[in-house]
Structure 1
Amino acid sequence: MAAKSLIARAPVRVDLTGGYTDVPPFDAGRPNGTSVNIAITLYAWATFRDRRDGEPVADGFVEELRAACAGVLGLDRRRTRPMSVEVDVPAGCGLGTSAAQGVAMVRLLAADRGIPLNPKEVAEAAAAAERHLGIVGGWQDQYASSYGGANVVISSADGRHAHPLGPAFQAWAAARIVIALPATVRRGAALVEDVVRGYATHRVRASLGDLDRLAADLCGVIRLGAYASLPKLLERVREAQERLDQRIVDPDFLPCLESAGVSTAKPCGGGGAGAAWLIIEESARIPSIRAALHRAGVRTVAPAVDHQGAVVLDGRSTGAAVP
């Protein structure tokens, strides 16, 4: 199969909890760090692109990340082909777009070179590529994108492991999830770096402890099937995010959500102005909420749960996954 016909697809995610707790140095010395996330049917797409003789390799984030992914896989960066990457949502919106791009690139490079990688290896390689570039971030996004589905990702003494949440919870979530995308362009890197710099303060450490405990509570509720308790827990997650840094919860966007009738929402990822928000509501209320947000100029999407994770497709045919 011609390499240029391959397309790698990797989902973005929503995080129920775990934002910041997976970011170094926060994840150090925490043997049971926990993140809960859901991969959704919005994707990063990576494919090889042709380059004319003498044409310079494109600059920018895509090229830097491609080179870093190649290096992590032990490939000669200069001899791997340039790529094109597209994402279904705005880059940097808090849905793990950079991680999904890296995961798609790793899958594409591995498929092209015949390197067998399991989902864990793909996730770790993509996370290592971002760390190589000096990007401040964690690892839960890469695991969500690589594995797909809904997962509890736990950091333990023997490494990180993804534990799938059952189909009952995934069906419950799929019927209730809406993503709100503010028109503001998010610039989240500076916010994440500021929070990391405050690691030594009591406020930051206490807030991280709260988020860890809430993650454990959330996992317990999900395993018991007590889904009616989840909205209240997500509200507590949002409050803990705000204690971590007030800028994580955009005070200008929250009133917009409340005016539209939203009762349960939290900023995704690192949050901040312009970040996507996860909304969880009863399915009967979703159409009126989306209509109200549309009138307010807010784009919304109601994605399904992605069950495949990162896959490589044959771009020449019907999009069937390549074994």
Structure 2
Amino acid sequence: MSAIQPEARPVSAWRYSNVRSRAPLRLGLGGGGTDLAPYCDDYGGVVLNATIDRYAYAHLSARDDEMILFKADDLGRDEMLPCNLDFNICDGLLLHRAVYRHMMLHHNGGRAVPLTITTTIDVPAGSGLGASSALTVALIEAFVVAMQLPLGPYDIAQLAFEIERVQLGLMGGKQDQYAAAFGGFNFIEFLKGGVGVIVNPLRLRTSYLNEFESSLVICFSGQSRESADIIKQQVGGLKQLDDSTIHAMHAIKAHATEMKSFLLAGRVRSTADVLRQSWLSKKETASSVSNSNVERLLEVAMQAGAWAGKVSGAGGGGFIMLLTDPEKRFGLIRTLNEAGGEASAVKLTFEGVEAWAVPE
């Protein structure tokens, strides 16, 4: 028996017809890769991540013609389509197309409505900060507010995962969608057998949190990377029961748990020691996780006083995150920029995806 679809509602009857949203990007401190199937299904995975003051943005507005306009302003791309659902979601601006089509099919009775959907992201594509998943979450939340849908953060994260990984077939794990939907400093558990996800917010003392944030530096390596190739290699090792890949994943999972304990105790220096070990384990999961430029910038950073560093995300480029003595942070940033990186301080954020009606 087919599911009963809600009655179609014209866009003029929606609660809001001009909505903006934003979802935070994240730094992956530990456990990254253990949220990949089949590892998390077979063994259970854990990830420690924190959202930062970099965002993916979406803007949804009604049109008075019979067209749909998808725009990615940061990419300089746009697509004007007839107002129907007869388009391929695997062409063009995939995330825009897939989210719009899903919302029309499942929450608007299968009726297409004329909209302009515009997006931007604060960082380049392939940053390693979970930008594509944050964008998917932002797009979904814009529809949730515009249509007053009863979807909470777990629902939104799971839907984003299904759109990206199932409908579009994009390679990747599960952590990015949950980080963007919930926001904050989280220890996320991916239960064995794929039976569920638990997001555990870390309740750090303010002084511990301030010390960690003051120790943190991010540096864009100048190289965007295609995470799918790295993830494909990691998943291949897991499916083939490659001992070295599975052993490295076990170590990465243990490191995430250890980092959580040190952070809760305010031991930032010990957290950095585990971060360094985690980076060594991560490089064992796929040969393309690191490259000469990443290694060069990490070496520059260590010589300038960094305690430890690792690439955020799948690897291969994008952003490097580093921990250092706060009194050496300014000099570290300056040295990395002189060496060709794009380094800066960064602030942690504690709000997940947000959407609001544009004031009249």
**Given the two structures, how large is their TM-score scaled by the length of structure 2?**
0.81
**AA paired with 2:40?**
D
User: 2:145–2:356: 8 Å Cα contact kept in structure 1?
Assistant: no
Contiguous gaps of at least 5 residues in structure 2: 1-13, 70-78, 80-91
- Which residue does the alignment assign to 2:226? 187
C-alpha distance in 1 between matches for 2:321 and 2:172: 20
1:52, CA displacement in angstroms? 6.9
Q: 2:52 aligns with which of 23, 27, 40?
A: 40
1:68, CA displacement in angstroms? 5.7
**AA paired with 2:228?**
A
- Which residue does the alignment assign to 2:145? 111
C-alpha distance in 2 between matches for 1:264 and 1:190: 26
Q: 2:329 aligns with which of 283, 286, 307?
A: 286
Q: 2:271 aligns with which of 219, 230, 243?
A: 230
Determine whether 1:97 maps to 2:110. Answer: no
C-alpha distance in 1 between matches for 2:135 and 2:234: 24
Determine whether 1:13 maps to 2:46. Answer: no
Q: Which has the larger radius of gyration?
A: 2
Determine whether 1:246 maps to 2:287. Answer: yes
C-alpha distance in 1 between matches for 2:96 and 2:181: 21
Contiguous gaps of at least 5 residues in structure 1: 318-323
- Structure 1 window deviating more from structure 2 (198-207 vs 59-68): it is 59-68
CA displacement 1:130-185 (0-9 Å, x = unmatched): 12210111111111111111000012365111111124243332212211112223
C-alpha distance in 1 between matches for 2:106 and 2:284: 39
1:304, CA displacement in angstroms? 0.9
CA displacement 1:83-104 (0-9 Å, x = unmatched): 1110001122110001100110
Q: 1:138 aligns with which of 155, 173, 182?
A: 173
C-alpha distance in 1 between matches for 2:105 and 2:201: 27
Q: How many residue pairs were aligned?
A: 315
- Which residue does the alignment assign to 2:96? 63
1:51, CA displacement in angstroms? 5.3
Q: 1:277 aligns with which of 313, 320, 337?
A: 320
Percent sequence identity is 24
- Structure 1 window deviating more from structure 2 (76-85 vs 172-181): it is 76-85
- Structure 1 window deviating more from structure 2 (149-158 vs 108-117): it is 149-158
- Which residue does the alignment assign to 1:266? 310
Q: Any idea what SS the aligned residue of 2:172 has? A: coil
- Structure 1 window deviating more from structure 2 (210-219 vs 245-254): it is 245-254
Q: Which aligned segments of 4 or more residues in structure 1 are displaced greater than 4 angstroms? A: 49-52, 54-57, 71-75
- Which residue does the alignment assign to 1:177? 216
1:240, CA displacement in angstroms? 0.3
**Given the two structures, how large is their TM-score scaled by the length of structure 1?**
0.89
C-alpha distance in 1 between matches for 2:161 and 2:353: 14
Q: 1:84 aligns with which of 112, 118, 121?
A: 118
Quick one: structure 1 residues 65 and 180, their matched pair in 2 at CA, closer, same or farther if it must change by over 3 Å? Answer: farther
Q: 2:298 aligns with which of 253, 257, 264?
A: 257
Q: Any idea what SS the aligned residue of 1:29 has? A: helix
